[in-house]
Structure 1
Amino acid sequence: MLDFSPSPETEALVARTRQFVEEVVIPREAEVASEPHRLESIRGELQQAAREAELFAPRVPRDHGGLGLNWRDSALVFETAGRSLLGPQALNCAAPDEGNMHLLHAVGSAAQQARYYAPLARGQVRSAFAMTEPAPGAGSDPSMLSTRAERDGDGWVINGDKWFISGADGAAFAICMARTDDGPTMFLVDADNPGFEITALTPTLDHAFPGGHCEVRFADCKVGADAVLGEIGKGYDYAQLRLGPGRLTHCMRWLGIAGRALDIAMDYVNQRESFKKRLAQHQEMQRLVAESAIEMHASRLMIWQAAWCLDRGEKALHETSMTKVFVAEAVNRVVDRALQMCGARGISEYLPLANFYREIRGFRIYDGATEVHRASIGIRLLREAAKRSDT
């Protein structure tokens, strides 16, 4: 049975996280907006503040210096941290690092965990996940993977181009998906490897990712046998192991931005007067607020249920896929309504809504576009229905 009541300890943690975000993180947003080149240094300062506040690394196990939260409790903390674009960075629970930490902890060897996972969990380095490729390579269809890894003595040589690799600029290492004779395989590649090259920084609508979104080339990139993450040929399985929870954590964080956007809009319409009364007294404003609140409530319940499935040891591919579709679309609508409610001020830089609007749009595309998830959900349901009719 799904229990909706957080423990007193979790409630206190969420309250402390909310206070930290409001008092420490949000005041730094203006600095990043005016001096984007300082994002990395401000990120480091906020992470140190989060350590001192005992809020750092919510999902990392305690023996690695984190809080050791399960998925259900993480949903509450991640949403609260997500009220600022800098919040997940401060708590070291932002993409792509959070997903890479989950994967490394699940399938990495002891040596790989010591070399890659431990410094990542401590916030000493950043990482990247290199799977997406330019056409005609892998995008929404991972079976189109074109990057190749060939055996070279005891090691491997990787060749191929990747693009839209978030956080690659400044990352210490990347997890690279490449095709081998035995099937798709993941490799750990240090950024200082001579065969690893960032060829371009992709100009995009969003700007909040440290390290941006990069085009990366693996050119005769030589790695040792110890670079193989997990087992050879199980790359697709590991991708699902990472991407399922990864989609859900995106939902958690972006729901926080939606909540803050709605709060900003409600504050505005409660103060602004038009047609001889406050905007909040107009029925249309009440409708917009209600629709946003309803969609956020439904989003939250879907996140909690999917998190509950993960905590039970289930893969929850169906649940996380449905949640990703609904939350990505809902959050975009909530932020859009908030901007509309604030009118000209909403599209100005006096409020953070315009920035939220830019940053949130990509969520409907990355980690599986809405259309691809809908197709996958439909295929699974129709296949199950066909099986039932055959029995």
Structure 2
Amino acid sequence: MGGCFSPQRGSESKADSPERTQIAEDETAAASEIAKLEVMHSEIISNRGQEKHTHPQIFTYKDLYAATGGFCADLFLGEGGFGKVYKGVLDNTKQEVAIKILNLQGKQGDNEFVTEVLVLSKLHHTNLVKLIGYCVDGNQRLLVYEYMPLGSLKSHLHDLPPDKKPLDWNTRMKILAGAAKGLQHLHVNVDPPVINRDVKCENILLGDEYHPKLSDFGLAKLGPTGDDTHISTRVMGTPGYCAPDYLESGKLTVKSDIYSFGVVMLEVITGQKAIDDSRPKAERNIVEWATPWINKRDFHKLADPVLNGQYHMKFLLQALIVAAMCVDRTASRRPHISEVVAALNQISDSQSRRKWRSSSSRLQPVALTSTQTQTSIEDQNQAKTKDQGDRS
């Protein structure tokens, strides 16, 4: 893996990217656009080699009530900012689905509902959750997704019940690599880019064989175009995952998603929560907790204890470096998503091919021998020290 990432896109441009999906700028929908959703069915957006475009189905409330057995408690899957989620089976196809019901008294409303429908109707990728359809029936707003049988990434990392086996290291890296590819599709293959604004473990869903898909696009925004470097917007997202530059200025860029993904990486590697009130006040944020250990190069202390040392130190080191670069406080120093994907693919592919030696040789902390790796950490620490000096 390369030790340093360029913060710029380099030669990439719209002219160089014929595979970009086109999305009209006026599709940052408002509540009044709900009535226009049917018109959307006549619009076909090519994904240029990605999954075939399919139009979302329109359901009645009666359809979805029947699919869930009257929203039976036994089929309840969970609850988020949008509302409650139930498992259902569609009468016409017998397909298993997940059905979200908008909480009319909740924080999210018609605007988030429409944004979710528009984004997922236009964008299709193997690492984005599929929208099957939606329901606009009176004041009822429901979304119907493909059912992801293994639930959220969060449910496999935190507060595991005694009978639930923790994710092994290889599976964790596979999940991160796949989730990064979904984010890459949003940032690179879409024009203008889509900024998710709510990348977190809870919004990475797992299918068979732990195949990851990004979900929940209700807070998504279209990114800057032309000479614009950012869009100014009200700060939205989840505490612990929001980039500090976005929190402080309201200036949103694709690098805001990169920071959030870096937090996800730290959670996956360490098993720690993004925000944990049980830690000392100065370390409640996972970035603040992990950074001193990374700077001291005590990398083995950052690995999730439930892994029981079942990982190779080289790959732990590489993954932590990528995560640390993603959560850099300065947006311009964070890597481009394509560089993150390349790095995670290399980690995932290398470890899947590797034949483990005896456990005694692979589980002990090792001295750093990669000059490239040491340089990348030192460069990052020097840059942070310089920033702190400039601010003081």
- TM-score > 0.5 by shorter chain: no
Higher relative contact order (CA 8 A, sep 6+): 2
Alignment TM-score, normalising by the size of structure 1: 0.29
